[in-house]
A and B are shown apart, each in its own frame.
Chain A
Amino acid sequence: MLMQGFSTAVTPINLLFAVIGVLLGTAVGVLPGIGPAMAIALLLPVTYGMEPTAAMIMFAGIYYGGMYGGSTTSILLNTPGESSTVITAIEGHKMAKAGRAAQALATAAIGSFVAGTIGTALLATIAPWVVKFAVSLGNPSYLAIMLLALIAVTAVLGSSKLRGFASLGLGLAIGLVGMDPVSGQGRLIFGQPLLTDGLDIVVVAVAIFAIGEALWIAAHLRKTSSHTIPVGRPWMGKSDWKRSWKPWLRGTAFGFPFGALPAGGAEIPTFLSYVTEKKLSKHPEEFGHGAIEGVAGPEAANNAAAAGTLTPMLALGLPTNATAAVMLLALMQFGIQPGPLLFEEEPVLVWALIASLFIGNALLLLINLPMAPLWAKLLQLPRPYLYAGILFFATLGAYAVNKQAFDLVLLLVLGLLGFAMRRFGIPVLPLIIGVILGPRAEAQLRKSLQLSSGDPAGLFSEPVAVAAYLIIALVLLWPLANMVLRRMFPKTALGFDSLVEPAFAEPEANEAVAGQTGANAIPQAGDVPADEHHDTGNGSRPRS
């Protein structure tokens, strides 16, 4: 199957789109304010008329390319655009300051290649097994798994659960708009015929990711330009290779499983990888001053997590991060139903996509090693052009879908919502996942009850469903259990905090932050439940 995928992916036109994808991906990874999810959202209208396979190949290139580009800026500029590259910035930027930028970029790029390749191989091996298991599940199990994904993304990621659920509620409400497919009733359409078909998901995605973000940045645009460390061509010496290869493999082992879990994300594995490397290193004194292991491991973890994320996305139709969510929107836009049947119904597309991930990874290594200094030049793009460009292309794309000015009104309203969400610390991801999964979960719920003739017990008729509900209960009750544990063993909890904090804090501000969190740790734990993550949040959220 994979061989067949390669034969589809290496046709000149698909190769061309893979190249365009990785170039665009690296560019948006390097550029501030725009990430892979926003880039794909902006491209959705343009790819509307394209061959789905070619479009998905391009999107996969953007996804992987964004990771490579993101590590370049965090090393050269100390500006981690995504929370998953925060750790890379700690050691990577120190290395760059010490004149070892070339080695840091090299270990990041080669490590990403190694992890991405292994991760994609794991995806190709595991996804068919997941599908085999998933096709045997009934509606109640799907419902439970979707609810698990919704709640895990909402409750585990982000710094405040309460704000996560607020975002989820808004997303579900947006998903309700339009004709109810079962009863034919119009919901939340206020007599507007234009709303009968529901809000166009492309418009929602572009508004929340592009308009909201551009307005938010415009409101706080940095006036002082930041300083980039000049760099030559990335390379590594023998000792760098020796110190890098094990962290790459260990990082991959951390990254893939976490990426594949709903709400596993890339932050936890990069952090775990960093802590592990620090412990295992023969040069622990170098950590905090530019240790190459601290770049190699987390970067590998980050890329392996990206591959892991695609497993539930392709095998179950469950998006677990923003980029996967937008890629799933793309599939839906092409009229392709995401879910376990995807492998059966669209084998050509799925395997070509997986094959193109291998190709894209190799391309990224080729274009990133020699061209890193060139990419860094992109940062000189004047900011007014960058953000005006985002607004311009967002408008153009949203208008081109249906060619009605009404969509632009929606774009503005939802864009202002995205702006307000960023202002008030409401995470964007639960909203998007809610818009995507909400209607599908409702359909599963109604089918399940239909099968059990309205008996709610039918929702628990399958063991997988029961297991999923148990995990949901655990996720929701965890803060409570955590609070009890902290009350009972205050010393252990404090010890854990001091272990976690320094690595997450900005190295320069290390002492100040460590002192602050030490004082905060105990009162925070007993405070309002919604705030218990504040002390580990560090203010960094995934960039859209």
Chain B
Amino acid sequence: MKPVAAWLKGRSELGFAALLGAVGAIVLVDAIGLKVPYQQSDGLGPKTVPYIVATLLLVCAVMLAINVLRGGAAEPEDGEDIEIGTPIDWKTVVPLGLVFITNIIFIDTLGWVISGTILFWGSVLALGSRNYIRDGLISVALAVGTFYGFYLGLGIHLPAGLLKGVL
């Protein structure tokens, strides 16, 4: 590993500081671009609060960066099912994200029953379950059940998609 990469590895928090800075900058630029019609009743105008928020974010970004460079480190959140101290398991997180994106792309065309089944089945697989048939049956049951539950119980019509007419 190159020295720069090694140095950066323990300081991934700098990335979060950069995110804070970026959000702060966007808020600032957006606020500058606002056109303010003069209004007697609104002396403060729409710009002031965004300026305050942008300042807060930028100051936090700089201070967080300094804090990290001086050796400060975050405490990752603990929890009941969490093994703290282990590296992030990207082999679980990335497939979960991909399944989620698949659902976003197909929910309107394929319909909730199919995309929801893919969402649950895919997530269960990504999380390490290997009981394919039981997982599949539960996925279909959940997707169909919620479709009719929302339709009959709440009057919310989820998209039927490809199965229009069947359901």
Q: Which residues of A contact B (CB under 8 A)?
A: 32-33, 46, 48-49, 73, 77, 79, 81, 159-160, 162-163, 165-166, 168-170, 172-173, 176, 180, 182-183, 185, 187-188, 190, 213, 215-223, 382-385, 387-389, 391-392, 395-396, 399-400, 403, 405, 408-409, 412, 416, 419-420, 422-426, 438, 442, 445-446, 449-450, 453-454, 528, 530-531, 534, 537, 539-541, 543
Contact = CB atoms under 8 A, between A and B. Distances in A.
A520 B159 CA distance: 58
B53 A222 contact: no
Contacts of A213: 79
B49 to A, nearest CB: 5
B83 to A, nearest CB: 5
B42 A531 contact: no
B53 A169 contact: yes
A384 B138 CA distance: 12
Given A81-B79, A392-B116, A396-B116, A221 B101 contact: no
B44 interface: yes
Contacts of B114: none
Contacts of B8: none
A116 B10 CA distance: 46
Contact of A382 (B34, B92, B129, B154): B129
A326 to B, nearest CB: 18
A180 B79 CA distance: 39
B78 A162 contact: no
Contacts of A387: 123, 127
A55 to B, nearest CB: 12
Given A173-B57, A408-B103, A422-B77, 11 more contacts: A166-B61, A169-B56, A183-B45, A188-B30, A388-B124, A396-B150, A396-B158, A416-B97, A426-B74, A539-B84, A541-B78
A202 to B, nearest CB: 14
A187 B50 contact: yes
Contacts of B84: 220, 539
Contacts of A422: 76-77
Interface string B84-118: 10101110110011001101110110001000100
A392 B16 contact: no
Interface of B: 12-13, 16, 19-20, 23-24, 26-27, 30-31, 34-37, 39, 41-46, 49-50, 53, 56-57, 60-61, 63-64, 67, 70, 72, 74-84, 86, 88-90, 92-93, 96-97, 100-101, 103-105, 107-108, 112, 116, 119-120, 123-129, 135, 138, 142, 146, 150, 154-156, 158-159
A313 to B, nearest CB: 24
B104 A408 contact: yes
B23 A170 contact: yes
Contact of B20 (A170, A182, A223): A170
A33 B119 contact: no
Contact of A388 (B75, B79, B108, B123): B123
B107 A399 contact: yes
Given A384-B127, A395-B103, A530 B93 contact: no
B70 A541 contact: no
Nearest to B73: A425
A388 B124 CA distance: 6
B75 to A, nearest CB: 4
Nearest to A407: B104
A382 B127 CA distance: 10
Given A46-B154, A49-B155, A382-B129, A221 B80 contact: no
A412 B86 contact: no
Given A79-B80, A221-B83, A405 B16 contact: no
B123 to A, nearest CB: 4
A185 B34 contact: yes
B27 to A, nearest CB: 5
Contacts of B120: 388-389, 391-392
